[in-house]
Amino acid sequence: MMVGVRKLKPMEVLDKDALTNIHLNSLELLEKMGVKVFSKEALTILDESGAKVDHKKQMAWIPPHLVEEALKKAPKTFKLCARNPKNDVELDGNHISCSTDGTGLTTIDLETGERRPSTKDDVAKSALIVDALKLADLYYPTVTPLDYPKHAHVLHEYDAALDNTQKHFVSGATYLPEEAVYLIKMAAAVAGGLKKLRERPIISAVACMMAPLILPLGETDAALEFSKQGIPVVAMTMPLTGATGPITPAGSVLIGNAQILGINTVIQMKYPGAPVIYSSYPMSMEVRTGAFAVSFPEATMVITGHIQMARHYGLPNYGGGTIGSAKIPDEQAAYEKALCGLMSMLAGGDVCGTIGLLENYTVLSYEQLLIDYEMYDMMLRLAQGIDVSEEALALDTIYKVGPEGHFLAEKHTLKHTKDVWMPMLTDPAPYGTWKDKGAKSVVDVAKEKAKEILATHKPTPLDRDVKKRLAEIIKEGEKGIPH
C-alpha cells in the first residue's frame, strides 16, 4: 500500500452543470458587482491589467477574461517542501496530506486538564508531536503564543516550530506585509538564502479573504509579498452561512469561489505562475441562537463544494478535515470530526487532515491531536479502496487452504501483515482484558501517548549559527512590524 495515494474516485456533490453554473456566476459577480479591494497595490495591478477600477471607492470590476487568464497561469501541481526533503509534500491531485489546525488562543493543559492561555511552549510541543507522527505532513501553528508580543506572533510561531519539526510550515494568517517580510527572512536563513528558498519553499502562507467579496489590505499585501518570492499562498475563504455568506450551501460556495478567483487574479497578474492553494473553512449558523459551528452539515457541504471547484480548476486544495465545535475530547468531537474528515477526504481533498483543535479552531488539546491523527490514519486507509490484483485476491492460497483450513500460518498472510492497518490508540481487546489493563478511555491512552512522545522524541535541531540568525531576525521584527 502506497501511503497517501488516493485510489478511490472522488465523491461528487456537484454535477458538471453545477460546476459550470457556479463558475459562470462567480465571473458575473466579479465583473458586475465587483470586489472591494483595500490594497492600493492590488488595485493598481488590476487597473494595469485591464479591470475597471475606482481607486477612491476601492472597488474593482474584474472582466471574465482576466479571471480565466489567471486560472491558466496558476500552477496545477507543485511541492510543499520541508526542511528535510524526505518530508516534502506532493500537491498533484493524487496524494492526500495531513496538517494540524491553526492558531487557537487556548490550550487544555496536558497535566491539569484545565484551560489556559496558549504559549510558545505549546507551539513547540505540538510541532514536536507532529514531527514524530509518520503520516502528519504539514505543521500549521496550533496556537498563538500569548506570552510573546502579539504583533510578532507569526515569527515566534515559526521559531518554535523550526527547532521541533523538519516538516513543511504553514504560517498562520499573516495580516501585514511586514510580517511576511520577516517570516521570509527567517525561512531564507534556514534554507540557505532567498534563491534556495525559491527553489525549495519550506513555508507556505495563509491569506484569509473576507466575505462577502472583500480582499483585505494586510492579507492581500502579505500574499503578494510571499508570491514575489515564490512562496505558496493558501488563499482561504471562510464564509459564515447566513451572515457573511448566503445561508444556503450553494450560495456560500458561490461567494467563496468568487473570492478565491479574485485574489488568484491579483496574484497571477503580478507574478504569473505563483503557486496558489484553494482553501475553504466556512462556518454554519445555528438559527435558533445565532451561534456558528464549523461542523454542521451545511458548512461541511460548502467545504466539499469548494474542494470540487478547486479540482474543477485543477488547483491544489486545502480544506475541511477533522474539525469540530466540541469543547472537550468527547463523543461530540468524535462524530463531528469523523464525518467532516471523511467527507473532505472522499471529496478529493489534497490537504484534509486538520488535526488538533476543538471549539471552532480555538482550543488545542494534545489528546485530541492524537485522536484526530488516528481518525485521519483510518480514513487514509479507506481512501486506498480495495486492491483486486492477482496477489491481493489470493486465489492460490484459498485453493491451498480449502474449505476446512485457516490462513494464519500461510506465507501469503505473513507477507501482507504489514499492509493491515495498525492502531496507535484504538483498543480492540475484549472487555475483560481492557478492564484488567486499567479500563482506560481513548482520551486516557492519548494523554499517555502524548507524554511519551514529548519525553522520547528528539527532533533534528537547527544549526547553532542559524538559531542565532533567527533570534536576530525576530528581534528586528519585534521592532519593525507595526503595532
**How many angstroms separate the CA atoms of 48 and 41, rounded?**
11
- Give the predicted TM-score (pTM) of the model: 0.96
CB 356 within 8 A of CB 99: no
Q: Please say if the pLDDT value at position 2 is more than 60.
A: no
Q: Report the percent of the chain where pLDDT is more than 90.
A: 95
**How many angstroms separate the CA atoms of 271 and 193, rounded?**
20
For range 367-380, the mean pLDDT: 97
Q: Could you tell me the pLDDT band of residue 56, with boundaries at 50, 70 and 90? A: very high
Q: Could you tell me the pLDDT band of residue 1, with boundaries at 50, 70 and 90? A: very low
* pLDDT at site 414: 96
Query: Domain for residue 20, yes or no?
Result: no
Rounded to the nearest integer, the mean pLDDT of the chain is: 96
pLDDT by residue (tens digit) across 89-116? 999 999 999 999 989 999 999 999 999 9
Q: Report the percent of the chain where pLDDT is more than 70.
A: 99
Chain position carrying cell 517570516: 183
Query: Domain for residue 391, yes or no?
Result: no
* pLDDT at site 463: 94
**How many angstroms separate the CA atoms of 46 and 3, rounded?**
42
The CATH number linked to 138 is 3.20.20.480
Residue 67 DSSP SS3: helix
Q: What angle do CA 367, 370, 374 make, to 5 degrees?
A: 135
Query: Domain for residue 446, yes or no?
Result: no
* Containing structural domain, residue 308: 71-383
Q: Which amino acid is at 153?
A: H
| Alpha-helical segments (H) within 363-458 | 366-383, 390-393, 395-401, 411-415, 431-436, 442-456
Q: Could you tell me the pLDDT band of residue 3, with boundaries at 50, 70 and 90? A: low
Query: Domain for residue 404, yes or no?
Result: no
Handedness of CA 226, 227, 229, 233 (dihedral sign): positive
Query: Domain for residue 452, yes or no?
Result: no
Residues 6+ apart with CB under 8 A from 63: 31, 50, 51, 52
State how many domains the chain has.
1
Query: Domain for residue 174, yes or no?
Result: yes
Query: Domain for residue 176, yes or no?
Result: yes
Residues 6+ apart with CB under 8 A from 130: 100, 136, 139, 165, 167
CB 104 within 8 A of CB 362: yes
In this structure, what C-alpha cell is assigned to residue 354?
486538520
